[in-house]
A and B are shown apart, each in its own frame.
Chain A
Amino acid sequence: MAFRSAVITFPGSNCDRDMAVALEQVSGSAPVRVWHGDAELPAGLDFIALPGGFSYGDYLRSGAMAANSPIMREIVRAADRGVPVLGVCNGFQVLAEARLLPGALMRNASQHFICRTVSLKVENVQSLFTRGYEPGQEIRIPVAHHDGNYFADEETLDRLEDEGRIAFRYVENCNGSRRDIAGVLNNAGNVLGMMPHPERAVDSAHGGTDGLTLFEGAMKALASA
């Protein structure tokens, strides 16, 4: 059965096409493109992706406006039903603002926008998204953000560690994130938010293909579910 995915586009998203290209490359079927103002998601989705960008021009706080857009109510419902949801960069900020993931993404500690390829350590290899990686594997994935400084209180951070919900850590902290966190999972493990862009590392022409493993792993896991 064909893999049915959706990429959500908010006003100001700018990595939606990259995400769609990656999903199509890996799955062989083009994702449905969903506009933020749509009241409903297509039926029978296997995977939902919230792309990077600057939704609503980062007004108020990054992701805050998008988190309250009509389609987000449907995405919260889908996530509650167990549909895998991946939020990358601005998508992570939106998921945090929507409270689908704990914590918040603040301005980088350096105040600078950072755009470069960084090394990540894979911390969790049980999740749907990360099971293709080896435990402790180091991967190279590009980051491009101004607000990627992950914050959560100590109690929440301890809980995330205990529950194995830290998916990725920066090998060298590039933005001030608490405990070097680059990606976190929700309690059920079907929602992943990460600042680095796996969809920008799926073709050797990108300079690396470490992001491919994430999409392929998720697809394999879903196919065997």
Chain B
Amino acid sequence: MKIRVLVSLKPGVLDPQGRAVHHALEGLGFQGVDEVRIGRTVELDVADSTSDEALADMCEKLLANTVIENYKIEKLG
């Protein structure tokens, strides 16, 4: 089973990297970009029997730091 975990900074947590990229986009002349926030994608290939709880546990314990990050688990089949 292919899994994609999207890790993003929580709202309210400053993202200096995103801000720098935002400025760079403006520097390239792109208009109308309100905000840029950078996250991380983790792709996993796991046994089909892997439970939702186990996937959530992986995110909580390692893939995301829940002090600053949210995560979303997508099953790609």
Asked if A and B bind, the verdict is yes
B65 touches which one: A61, A107, A109, A110 (CB < 8 A)?
A61
Contact flag A176-B14 (CB < 8 Å), given A60-B62, A64-B62, A111-B20? yes
A165 to chain B, nearest CB (A): 16
Given contacts A103-B67, A104-B68, contact A109 B16 (CB under 8 A): yes
A 87-113 to B, binary, CB cutoff 8 A, 1 in contact else 0: 000000000110000111011111100
Interface size, chain A (Cβ < 8 Å): 20
**CA of A104 to CA of B13 in the docked complex: distance in angstroms?**
11
A68 at the binding interface (Cβ < 8 Å): yes
Judge if A151 is at the interface, Cβ distance under 8 Å.
Answer: yes
B41 contacts the other chain (Cβ, under 8 Å)? Answer: no
Within 8 A of A (CB), among B1-40: 13-14, 16-17, 20
B interface residues, how many (CB within 8 angstroms): 11
Cβ-defined contact, A152 with B67, below 8 A: yes
For B13, the closest partner residue in chain A by CB is A151
Q: What B residues does A110 contact at CB under 8 A?
A: 16
Bound together, the chains give a CA A68 to CA B63 distance in angstroms of 12
Instruction: Give the complex CA separation of A151 and B12 in angstroms.
Output: 11
Residues of the A chain whose Cβ atoms lie less than 8 Å from the Cβ of B68: 104, 106, 151
Contact with B along A63-88 (1 / 0, CB 8 A): 01000100000000000000000000
Encoded as 1 (CB less than 8 Å from any A CB) or 0, chain B from 58 to 77 comes to 00011101011000000000
Are B17's CB and A151's CB within 8 A? no
Query: Which residues of chain A are within 8 angstroms of B67 by Cβ–Cβ distance?
Result: 96, 102-104, 151-153
CB distance from A8 to the nearest CB of B (A): 19
Minimum CB–CB distance for A138 against chain B, Å:
27
Check if A176 sits within 8 Å of B65, measured CB to CB: no
Across-interface contacts of A107 in B (CB, < 8 A): 16-17
21 CB < 8 A contacts A-B: A60-B62, A60-B63, A61-B65, A64-B62, A64-B65, A68-B62, A96-B67, A97-B65, A102-B67, A103-B67, A104-B68, A106-B14, A106-B68, A107-B16, A107-B17, A109-B14, A111-B17, A149-B16, A151-B67, A153-B67, A176-B14
- Which residues of B are in contact with A by a Cβ distance under 8 Å? 13-14, 16-17, 20, 61-63, 65, 67-68
Known: A107-B16, A108-B16, A176-B16. 13 other contacts (CB 8 A): A61-B65, A64-B65, A97-B65, A102-B67, A104-B65, A104-B67, A106-B13, A106-B14, A106-B16, A106-B68, A111-B16, A151-B67, A152-B67
